[in-house]
Amino acid sequence: MSGNCCGIIPDCRLRRLGRHWNMNFIVPQVKEYTCGHCGEIVVGGRYNNHCPHCLWSKHLDDKVPGDRASDCKSLMEPTGVIQKYGKWRIVHQCLKCKKKTVVDSSPKDNVDLIIKLSYSK
């Protein structure tokens, strides 16, 4: 299996992630934090990685969702939404390093902002 993780797929993503490939991407602890954009108090945990009030996020993860290994730590602006299997997903872009991520929306998210983002291009 030299060069890839399974012997089949060249440059397999699991090999590129190294020791992080089998990490559970769900953040296990429930923690309260203050949104760095709107200042609202948010109770984070399991699937929460963005403020449900303004939809902004913070660049915490590096290679795997939930690894909390990013050195950037800048705010991530919600720049759009997409739908996957009938569920809204929020597109974020880091203000500092410009990395883009896509995360699932939550039932607690501000639906008006999601609709507004769906019209932005």
pLDDT digits (tens, 9 = 90+) for 9-18: 344 444 444 4
Within 10 Å of residue 49's Cβ, how many Cβ atoms? Answer: 23
Residue 7, pLDDT > 50, answer: no
Entry pTM: 0.72
DSSP H or E run through 79: strand 75-84
Residue 46's pLDDT is: 57
**Could you tell me if 58 and 44 are in contact, meaning their C-beta atoms sit under 8 angstroms apart?**
no
Alpha-carbon distance of 76 to 37, in angstroms, equals 9
pLDDT at 48 > cutoff 80: no
> Which two tokens mark 112?
């008006």
The string of pLDDT tens digits covering residues 64-105 is 776 777 788 889 999 999 998 989 999 999 999 998 988 899
